């Protein structure tokens, strides 16, 4: 009998958001797989979990997938966690999931904290329909082209990026979307210093540049004509 592959969502910052089910799943798994040693070790140590561990990240995904699939085929239950949030979503692990599906291995999602839903709900924009675009290109010419394509989108748009690119991204949105499109930027969600900002792209770009603001963020853009 094959083992089960558990995709365990973990807190996006505040460890109090870890679910009872997630903790139980990690404690009962035969092997826990984390993305980076520092974050994975911190999580397991905080909840008093000692298990055999493996790593799966962008540098070793192919080799790690082969090893983990072998464990699963030999009846081991494997639980994957990412550095934060839901594993596989914008993180390594998709190859393993595809291989597990092909092999008929049962995959069990363990839901938990998310940055997307909180950012959407506090934006004040229509969320009957929305588009998660994720990360734009780090290269400005390509990023401008992507934004020009998104400018015509009628649905609310969700973007994410690295903290150090915040001001550059806001300036590019200002240039492409103009001065009236409304924006919401949610910083450090679930953490004590969590902050939510509403305004136009030019307003927020100027504010963030003046403050030298950096931090983990989710950016929500109101859809065209709404």
Q: Are residues 124 and 200 in the same domain?
A: yes
In whole angstroms, what is the distance from residue 138 CA to residue 161 CA? 9
In a domain, 80, yes or no: yes
Q: Are 18 and 47 in contact (CB under 8 A)?
A: yes
Chain centroid offset of residue 62 CA: 21
Q: Are residues 106 and 170 in the same domain?
A: no
Q: Are residues 30 and 45 in the same domain?
A: yes
In a domain, 226, yes or no: no
Q: Are residues 74 and 165 in the same domain?
A: no
In a domain, 121, yes or no: yes
Q: What is the CATH number of the domain that holds 125?
A: 3.30.950.10
pLDDT digits (tens, 9 = 90+) for 18-77: 999 999 999 999 999 999 888 899 999 999 999 999 999 989 999 999 999 999 999 999
Q: Are residues 17 and 103 in the same domain?
A: yes
Q: Are residues 106 and 141 in the same domain?
A: no
Q: Are residues 103 and 124 in the same domain?
A: no
Token pair 């200002």 is found at 174
pLDDT digits (tens, 9 = 90+) for 122-175: 999 999 999 999 999 999 999 999 999 999 999 999 999 999 999 999 999 999
Q: Are residues 92 and 120 in the same domain?
A: no
pLDDT, position 44:
95
Q: Kindly report the pTM of this predicted structure.
A: 0.90
Query: Which residue, 59, 91, 110, sits at the end of a domain?
Result: 110
pLDDT, position 137:
95
In a domain, 86, yes or no: yes
Token pair 């008929």 is found at 104
Which pairs count as long-range contacts for 161-164, CB under 8 Å and 24+ apart, including other chains?
A: 161/135, 161/136, 161/217, 161/219, 163/214, 163/215, 163/216, 163/217, 164/214
The candidate with the shortest Cα–Cα distance to 163, out of 139, 135, 196, is 135
pLDDT, position 214:
82
Q: 76: alpha, beta or left, given left = phi > 0 and alpha = psi -120 to 50?
A: beta
Q: Are residues 66 and 81 in the same domain?
A: yes
Query: Which residue, 95, 110, 125, sits at the end of a domain?
Result: 110
Q: Are residues 21 and 96 in the same domain?
A: yes
Query: Which residue, 64, 85, 110, sits at the end of a domain?
Result: 110
Range of 179's domain? Answer: 116-221
Q: What is the CATH number of the domain that holds 55?
A: 3.40.1010.10
Q: How many domains does the chain have?
A: 2
In a domain, 143, yes or no: yes
pLDDT, position 91:
85
In a domain, 193, yes or no: yes
In a domain, 164, yes or no: yes
Q: Are residues 123 and 94 in the same domain?
A: no
Quickly list DSSP for the chain. ----EEEE-B-SS-GGG--HHHHHHHHH-SEEEESSHHHHHHHHHHTT----EEE--TTTHHHHHHHHHHHHHTT--EEE--SSBSTTTTSS-HHHHHHHHHTT--EEEE----SHHHHHHHH-S--SSEEEEEEPPSSHHHHHHHHHHHTT--SEEEEE--GGGHHHHHHHHHHHH-SS-EEEEEESTTSTT-EEEEEEHHHHHHHHHHHT----EEEEEPPTT-
Q: Are residues 99 and 121 in the same domain?
A: no
pLDDT at 196 over 90: yes
Q: Are 88 and 78 in contact (CB under 8 A)?
A: no
pLDDT, position 33:
96
């Amino acid at each position: 009998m094959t083992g089960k592959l558990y995709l365990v969502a973990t807190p996006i910052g505040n460890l109090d958001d870890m679910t009872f089910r997630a903790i139980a799943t990690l404690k009962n798994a035969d092997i826990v797989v984390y993305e980076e040693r520092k974050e994975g070790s911190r999580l397991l140590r905080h909840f008093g979990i000692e298990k055999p561990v493996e790593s799966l990240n962008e540098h070793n995904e192919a080799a790690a997938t082969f090893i983990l699939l072998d464990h699963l085929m030999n009846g081991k239950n494997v639980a994957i966690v990412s550095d934060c949030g839901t594993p596989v979503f914008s993180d390594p692990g998709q190859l393993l999931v595809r291989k597990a599906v092909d092999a008929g291995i049962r995959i069990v999602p363990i839901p938990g904290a998310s940055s997307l839903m909180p950012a959407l709900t506090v934006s004040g924009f229509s969320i009957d329909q929305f588009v998660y675009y994720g990360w734009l290109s780090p290269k400005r010419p390509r990023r401008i082209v992507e934004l020009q394509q998104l400018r015509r989108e009628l649905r609310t748009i969700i973007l994410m990026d690295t903290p150090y690119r915040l001001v550059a991204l806001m300036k590019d949105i200002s240039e492409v979307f103009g001065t009236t499109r409304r924006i919401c930027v949610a910083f450090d969600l679930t953490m004590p210093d969590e902050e939510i900002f509403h305004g136009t792209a030019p307003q927020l770009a100027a504010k963030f540049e003046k403050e030298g603001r950096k931090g983990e963020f989710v950016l929500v853009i109101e859809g065209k004509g709404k």
